[in-house]
Amino acid sequence: YTITLQIGLGIQVAASDINLTQNGCTASDKNDLAKLRWATGNLKSTGSTNYVWASSTDRGYYYTWYSTYTGNTNINNTDPCSKLNTAYYGTGWRTPSKNELTKLARCTNKILTNSGMWFMNNSIGLFLPAAGCRQDGKGSNTSPTTDSGTDGYYWSSDIGNGNNTGKRLYFGKRYNTADVADHAKNAGLTVRCVKGTKQ
């Protein structure tokens, strides 16, 4: 039998192709984002090893902050992106930092389309589904409890301003914005992995 290794998996956009600048995207943001490669889908695995990511329009699953899938409100301080199946995806995937998600949030037109939002470029850029979330105390699970189809909530690897919060990217209808702010660690949010030197 054969093992197929996917070389160059993911989405990487050249600075010159980043044209969604309506939310304050700078030349510096473009140059920094061009150095990163993004997973093409949200994390969608339970357990603790051989994770996979979903199709680009699939919601994926919901995780507590910086944790592998627990199915409850536990936080285990383990980067879920580090559990991607290396035989298929290769190594080096991680949860994005708040700085990376802040740059990403600036490089969008903030327009909801097909139950999601484009970042960097609206054809070859990064499409993030508005997968909703499992609000504070709802923990990790395979389905959302709120805002599915209208709002997106994506974890960063950074802790929030309080011990019980982590930083997350938000976009969508509820607040009509795209930005990074605090969210309770025991909520279930989606994760989009990234590769490249941490910014």
Average pLDDT over residues 139-147: 95
Pick the closest to residue 193 from 63, 1, 22, 15 (CA basis): 63
Residue 29 domain flag: yes
User: For residue 166, is pLDDT > 60?
Assistant: yes
Residue 136 domain flag: yes
163 phi and psi angles, rounded to 5 deg: -60, -25
Residue 46 domain flag: yes
User: For residue 8, is pLDDT > 80?
Assistant: no
Residue 182 domain flag: yes
- Domain with 62, as residue range(s), is 15-195
**What does the pLDDT read at residue 47?**
87
- Buried b vs exposed e over 63-92: b needs ≥16 C-beta within 10 Å? bbbbbbbbeebebeeebbbebbeeeebbee
**What does the pLDDT read at residue 6?**
52
Write the DSSP symbol of residue 113. E
Give residue 9's pLDDT band: very low, low, confident or very high (50, 70, 90): confident
Considering the chain, what percentage of its residues have pLDDT values greater than 90? 91
d(CA 187, CA 76): 14
Higher pLDDT, 48 or 20: 20
Average pLDDT, rounded, for the chain? 95
Q: What is the pLDDT of residues 89-122, one digit of tens each?
A: 999 999 999 999 999 999 999 999 999 999 999 9
Residue 90 domain flag: yes
**What does the pLDDT read at residue 1?**
56
> Residue 56 burial by CB count (10 A; 0-12/13-18/19+): exposed, middle or buried?
middle
**What does the pLDDT read at residue 111?**
95
User: For residue 186, is pLDDT > 80?
Assistant: yes
Number of domains comprising the chain? 1
Residue 65 domain flag: yes
Helix, strand, coil content of the chain in percent (nearest 5): 15, 30, 55
Q: What is the pLDDT of residues 35-59, one digit of tens each?
A: 999 999 999 999 889 999 999 999 9
**What does the pLDDT read at residue 2?**
56
Average pLDDT over residues 14-21: 98
